[in-house]
Amino acid sequence: MKVVLIVCDGLGDRPTRALGGLTPLQAAEAEVLDKVASKGVCGIMDVVAPGQPPGSDTAHLSLFGYDPWKVYSGRGAYEALGVGLNLKPGDVAFRCNFATLGGDGVIVDRRAGRISSEEAKVLSEALKDIRIESVPGVEAMFVPSVEHRGVLILRGEGLSRKVSDIDPHKTGVRPGVPRPLDDSREAERTAKALSEFLEKAWKRLAEHPLNRKRVEEGRPPANAILPRGAGTLPNIPSVGERWGVRAAAIAGGALYKGVARAAGFEVLNVRGATGTVNTDLNAKVEAAISALKDHDLVFLHIKATDTASHDKKPELKKTIIERISRAVSPLVEHVESMGYYLAFTGDHTTPSEVGEHRGDPVPIMIMGPGVRSDDVDRFDEVSCARGGLGRIRGMDLMRILMDYLGRVPLFGE
Ligand code: ZN
Ligand code: ZN
């Protein structure tokens, strides 16, 4: 027995004016999704907790069966795992942006004019041999990922993720100063090491020939990196250890790949899976079908629904849902013909009139042999609330799926 879990990011929504009071899911003509709803069992799900807006990282920890309140240890680690870095226990990882500081030290551009990956790589070379002298036994590594993004890792004994963000998330202000967020010696050491690294890195970047050239050409210099979201590896058993399944993940964005890697999924690289609106959905669906050959649990992540929501475009979100419905058709057929299970849901609600994550539950449906099909035949937030699953918690979903697979041991005798 096998199961495919499809998660559309930020899928849940609220009634929107642009769609005559309907949610994008209600307005969408999503024939394949409705077919799954009518064959399967439906419900709504509080991914982290009722009324709690989840980040995509805590939401996915929940969906993979962990209690995020207990195991979440910052975003940076997932970002690092997601770009393919290997973290050691105790490493502190930060997400970083290349940014432009003006002459007065104020942030002019948080993305350094969306610097290209090639140029970011050249600049990163200059940061390779920076040594931390003020804190003994600590090394710093900066690795660029895509465009202006990168990851900084501090490695050594006695570090902590309890340090403040340097990136203030806005322009026109100075970057933050590294501060310990608790009274521990570890947080203090980490803040000190981070300070020294940044001071040296910004100096080298400011003097770099490539940045001089960018200035001459009237382009913003990438003269700073701004770390945020300090995180350490979560201490969690893999889904393999926990349920005895072989698990594969198909996702575009680094964060999703990172959470999946932390949970012991094998992350498959799919050409065209970019995590953007233009991502090649068909290629991801094909990859999911072929991953089912040698995996028991296949996780397929689709980002575009959340992007449209953040951009406050309900009509685009509706169109994307319709596109997803058509694209998953071969996967739905495959799952049915093989007698496998399919679960389809979102990781949180991102109302497309609000443009931010909110705490409303998301719709969920599960199709497969023996599920108690209910009378819901439309896949949307309102119809699913009448379904047989009722209202479940995100962290219970994996157990529910694994029970269909016969992988959950009896409790008691
Ligand atoms: Zn999300
Ligand atoms: Zn989002």
Per-residue pLDDT, averaged over 110-133, amounts to: 94
Per-residue pLDDT, averaged over 311-340, amounts to: 98
> Alpha-carbon distance 100 to 371, whole Å?
55
**Single-letter residue type at 36:** V
Contact (Cβ atoms closer than 8 angstroms) between residue 399 and residue 65: yes
Position 339 confidence tier, pLDDT thresholds 50, 70, 90: very high
Give residue 391's pLDDT.
98
Closest CA to 306 of 379, 358, 259: 358
Per-residue pLDDT, averaged over 45-51, amounts to: 98
Give residue 275's pLDDT.
58
Distance in Å, CA 350 to ligand 2 centroid: 7
- Longest Cα separation, the chain: 76
Report the percent of the chain where pLDDT is more than 90: 94
Distance in Å, CA 360 to ligand 2 centroid: 14
Task: Please count the other Cβ atoms lying within 10 Å of the Cβ belonging to residue 32.
Answer: 20
Distance in Å, CA 62 to ligand 2 centroid: 16
Give residue 253's pLDDT.
87
Distance in Å, CA 167 to ligand 1 centroid: 21
> Alpha-carbon distance 234 to 147, whole Å?
27
Contact (Cβ atoms closer than 8 angstroms) between residue 369 and residue 32: no
Position 146 confidence tier, pLDDT thresholds 50, 70, 90: confident
Three-state DSSP class for 15?
coil
Distance in Å, CA 363 to ligand 1 centroid: 14
Distance in Å, CA 272 to ligand 2 centroid: 21
Q: What mean pLDDT, rounded, does the chain reach?
A: 96
Residues in the chain: 413
> Alpha-carbon distance 338 to 186, whole Å?
52
> Alpha-carbon distance 230 to 224, whole Å?
17
CATH match for 3-72+235-404 among 3.30.420.40, 3.20.20.70, 3.30.70.1150, 3.40.720.10: 3.40.720.10
The ligand with the least distance to the CA atom of 346 is 1
Distance in Å, CA 324 to ligand 1 centroid: 16
Per-residue pLDDT, averaged over 156-167, amounts to: 96
Distance in Å, CA 95 to ligand 1 centroid: 17
Contact (Cβ atoms closer than 8 angstroms) between residue 19 and residue 314: yes
Distance in Å, CA 56 to ligand 1 centroid: 4
Which residues fall inside 5 Å of ion ligand 2, going by CB?
10, 306
CA distances from 364 to 50, 71, 379 (A): 15, 24, 8
Convert the pLDDT of each residue in 362-404 to its tens digit. Answer: 999 999 999 999 999 999 999 999 999 999 999 999 999 999 9
Distance in Å, CA 220 to ligand 1 centroid: 31
Instruction: State the DSSP string of 118-186.
Output: HHHHHHHHTTTT----SSTT-EEEEEE-STTEEEEEEESSS--S-B--S--SSSSSPPP---BSSS-HH
H-type alpha helices, 2-129? 24-27, 31-39, 56-63, 68-71, 76-82, 117-125
> Domain boundaries in the chain?
3-72+235-404, 81-231
> Alpha-carbon distance 267 to 275, whole Å?
14
Convert the pLDDT of each residue in 247-296 to its tens digit. Answer: 999 998 899 999 999 999 999 988 876 655 566 899 999 999 999 999 99
pTM across the whole model: 0.92
Convert the pLDDT of each residue in 27-37 to its tens digit. Answer: 999 999 999 99
